Amino acid sequence: NGTNGAQNNTFLDSSTNNFTITRNGNTTQGTFSPFSQTGWGNYFNGGYLTTASSNAVLPTGTQTYSLEFFVYVNGVSGSYNILVEGSTSANGFQITYFNDGSAQQGKLGVSASGVGAIVTATFSSYFNRWVHVVATRSGNDHRLFFDGVLVAYASNAISFAARGTQSFGAQASGALPMNGYMSNVRACLGSIPTSYQTSSTTVSTIIFSVPTESLTNTSQGATSADVELRTCQSNCFVDNSGNNYTLNTGGTPSVQAFSPFNPSASWSAATYGGSGYFDGNGDY
């Protein structure tokens, strides 16, 4: 439990038996456990999550929607990095980081497959920290918010394509991956949480406060019945919306006890526990 020697390779039996625990190989222990002081995030660096086309998660046609998440971008590679994608077909919904040397260079936001940017804003200055991103649509009004600030507005009548395999962290094929973390992904179809509703088109206007705890089906004034997906906020790959959609993994995305939210107290083994790591090569 880490109390003997204050290092991570002495294992103790904390039961009343106090049995001797012998370490073999390079077995180690750490703070990772099913419990977290601050919530959870998912790490993507070539890995990704997918959900079936039959699951109504991301917008199609001209649907009113809100898609939000916290993102921590470590860096970029290639011309485009896909954070979210609804379809690879023409007009498929996407959240893209542009690194293509075009007028969109360094911007992140809503795009459409084969069309390009719909509503984007410069994001390169937001690397290596958590950022709350919200994209909304009502009618032809598209808005993008970073940390509660309206950073972009566009009027566009685009009709997004029917859903294919929907993905997070890369395309469903694994192409164009992001490098970083996502936490508290929430997709609403048919309505926009009341906290995010605005008629403003003035860029740089502060519209709402950034959430300070994990999103729920009703927080920020969300309509529970319209929350289609809520993920990247648990100790496993799971949809916490009422739909409980299956999420499949590609590559090696991982669950991390790393999130945008501050701990309420210092780490305690008694409260949050820990775990032993066995690498499959002589550890037991």
- Segment 42-51 shows an average pLDDT of 98
Q: By mean pLDDT, which of 44-58, 63-77, 116-130, 259-273 is the weakest?
A: 259-273
Confidence of residue 24 (pLDDT cuts 50, 70, 90): confident
Q: What is the pLDDT of residues 168-186, one digit of tens each?
A: 999 999 999 999 999 999 9
Q: What are phi and psi of 272, to 5 degrees?
A: -105, -10
DSSP 56: -
Confidence of residue 10 (pLDDT cuts 50, 70, 90): low
Say what the pLDDT of residue 275 is.
66
Say what the pLDDT of residue 280 is.
75
Percent of the chain with pLDDT over 70: 85
Say what the pLDDT of residue 180 is.
98
- Segment 39-68 shows an average pLDDT of 97
Calpha distance 80→200 (Å, rounded): 29
Say what the pLDDT of residue 39 is.
85
- Please give the helix or strand (H or E) that residue 30 lies within, else none: strand 28-30
Q: What is the CB-side half-sphere exposure of residue 223 using CA atoms within 13 A?
A: 12
Tokens matching residue 255: 């669950």
- Segment 220-249 shows an average pLDDT of 98
Calpha distance 106→65 (Å, rounded): 25
pTM: 0.84
The answer to whether the CB of 57 falls within 8 A of the CB of 245 is: yes
Of 119 and 26, more confident: 119
Q: By mean pLDDT, which of 18-22, 115-119, 159-163, 229-233 is the weakest?
A: 18-22
Confidence of residue 2 (pLDDT cuts 50, 70, 90): very low
Q: What is the pLDDT of residues 83-139, one digit of tens each?
A: 999 999 999 999 999 999 999 999 999 999 999 999 999 999 999 999 999 999 999
Say what the pLDDT of residue 272 is.
55
Confidence of residue 1 (pLDDT cuts 50, 70, 90): very low
Q: By mean pLDDT, which of 18-22, 58-62, 110-114, 201-205 is the weakest?
A: 18-22
Say what the pLDDT of residue 20 is.
80
Please name which of 123, 117, 157 lies closest in space to residue 137, comparing C-alpha atoms.
157
Say what the pLDDT of residue 15 is.
78
Say what the pLDDT of residue 273 is.
56
Model confidence at 259: pLDDT above 80? yes
Percent of the chain with pLDDT over 90: 77
- Name all domains of the chain by residue range, CATH numbers in brackets: 41-256 (2.60.120.200)
Say what the pLDDT of residue 281 is.
75
The angle at the Cα of 118, spanning 142 to 155, to the nearest 5 degrees, equals 45
Average pLDDT, the chain: 91
